[in-house]
Amino acid sequence: MKWIASAAFGLEGITGRDLKRMGMENVRVMDVGGAEFEGGFEDAFRANLWLRTCDRVMLVMDRFEARSFEELFQGVKKLPWEKLIPSDGAFPVRARCVRSQIMSPSDVQKITKKAMVERLKQAYGVDWFRETGAVFQVDVSIRGDVVTVCVDSSGEALSKRGYRTWNGEAPLRETLAAALVLQSGWHPKEPLYDPCCGTGTLLIEAAFIALNRAPGLLRKFAMEAWPGVDHAACEEIRREAKSKYDQCYQRPLHVAGSDIDPEAIELARRHVRQAGLNGRIELEVKDLRDVTRPGEPGVFIANPPYGERIDNVRAAHAVARQLGALQARNPGWSLCAFSADMGFEREYGRRASRRKRFYNGPIECEYHIFEADKTDKRGVIKK
Ligand SMILES: C[S@@+](CC[C@H](N)C(=O)[O-])C[C@H]1O[C@@H](n2cnc3c(N)ncnc32)[C@H](O)[C@@H]1O
């Protein structure tokens, strides 16, 4: 079976690399949308459980060209839906069209549904489907007249890990937070500190990475209700993941953060508890101007506020300057900041060593990585 591990713009490469590390077959990073791989249901289950930067794992039913509704109808109707969907299965359809002859998602949705009903009516000899059983969310995407028909094995987006029940001001999606930690150059033996931690997403994702905790350990996936899936095998995969985490839980962890807003810290504490990390992440209410980290240097990581209104823009610029000062007074520390503010580096006071472009929902953002200054044996900064 062919699968797509869908991922947001900029995260496709990390998703593909993680699939390869997991030993998946024929991994191919797509130009847009994620990475493809091949495998059985158990491989897909493993991908759902372990991929940190992927939104959904989708079973590819087919890919074909269609320039008319008739071609779409016939292309969908010829697929062996009865092999996957039982007679009581629910099969809602969602659709997306990009630069194609067919550009109406609502028509694509209706035509796909009709073609599936026709096929399943013939297969099951009934003319009415109650759709009360397991959910097979069908996903049709038409891009440049090529139709990709998939079934979503994840259910709720994989960014929903199960620990975040409350959202503070502009929280980061968990998948994006994990990508930012993975790209920061942080090694889990070093300290990591978020001085604008909000509801704690970056810190929790960093702890999951350090403790080898599967991000999907606390949640279920749609495919677990599918009749064709070996449930005992999936449970075994989950048990294995749980035992890996149990083995690593006692590892030393140097992950901490603060925020100026007491309510945000309250939410962060709640999320840390819900993630099962009580007592493992240090949190406090603090203005970032008062943050200094004595001891071993490490990585500061932050998703500072950015504003669209002019007074918010001024405040965001002030935070960028304070972050620059934070790195300057903590020699040996690198600092990674994820911001939509295109003037960020100017305010920060130096050029980033590396930068990457990602989207936070619809907002284009840049990830600025300011590496630590290198010093010689006498502690003098090398230029
Ligand atoms: C975009 S939010 C961070 C969201 C966070 N990544 C999350 O997942 O919830 C920016 C945070 O910066 C905090 N902040 C703003 N100015 C600050 C300052 N001077 N010191 C510390 N935190 C500050 C805000 O309270 C807010 O929680």
CB contact at 8 A, 369 and 323: no
Would you place residue 362 in the very low, low, confident or very high pLDDT band (cuts 50, 70, 90)? confident
pLDDT at position 379 is: 58
Fold of 2-152: VC0802-like (3.30.2130)
Atom index in ligand 1 nearest the CA of residue 322 equals: 19
227 Cα: distance to centroid of ligand 1 (angstroms) = 45
Decide if pLDDT at 383 tops 60.
no
Query: Where are any strands of DSSP class E within the chain?
Result: 2-6, 25-29, 34-38, 56-65, 93-98, 137-143, 146-152, 192-194, 255-259, 282-285, 299-302, 334-339, 354-360, 363-370
Would you place residue 171 in the very low, low, confident or very high pLDDT band (cuts 50, 70, 90)? confident
pLDDT at position 53 is: 98
pLDDT at position 382 is: 60
pLDDT at position 380 is: 62
Summarised one tens digit per residue, pLDDT across range 178-236 is: 999 999 999 999 999 999 999 999 999 999 999 999 999 989 999 999 999 999 999 99
326 Cα: distance to centroid of ligand 1 (angstroms) = 15
pLDDT at position 311 is: 65
Provide mean pLDDT across the span 305-318.
81
What percentage of the chain reaches a pLDDT higher than 70? 96
Longest dimension (CA), the chain: 83
In the chain, which residues fall in CATH 3.30.2130.30?
2-152
With a 6 Å cutoff on the Cβ, whether 202 touches ligand 1 is yes
Provide mean pLDDT across the span 343-357.
95
Sign of the Cα torsion 21, 27, 32, 34 reads negative
- Which pTM value belongs to this model? 0.94
Summarised one tens digit per residue, pLDDT across range 96-140 is: 999 999 999 999 999 999 999 999 999 999 989 999 999 999 999
CB contact at 8 A, 209 and 182: yes
In the chain, which residues fall in CATH 3.40.50.150?
174-211+253-370
pLDDT at position 374 is: 76
Decide if pLDDT at 327 tops 60.
yes
**Token pair for 238:** 């989950």
Residue 268 CA to residue 292 CA, distance in Å, equals 21
What is the residue with the minimal CA distance to atom 27 of ligand 1? 198
As a whole number of Å, the end-to-end CA separation of the chain is 53
303 Cα: distance to centroid of ligand 1 (angstroms) = 7
199 Cα: distance to centroid of ligand 1 (angstroms) = 9
Query: Which of 41-45, 51-55, 277-281, 363-367 is the least confident region?
Result: 363-367
Homologous superfamily of domain range 174-211+253-370: Vaccinia Virus protein VP39 (3.40.50.150)
- The mean pLDDT value of the chain amounts to 94
Q: How many CA atoms lie within 13 A of 333 on its CB side?
A: 27
With a 6 Å cutoff on the Cβ, whether 89 touches ligand 1 is no
With a 6 Å cutoff on the Cβ, whether 174 touches ligand 1 is no
Residue 148 CA to residue 231 CA, distance in Å, equals 28
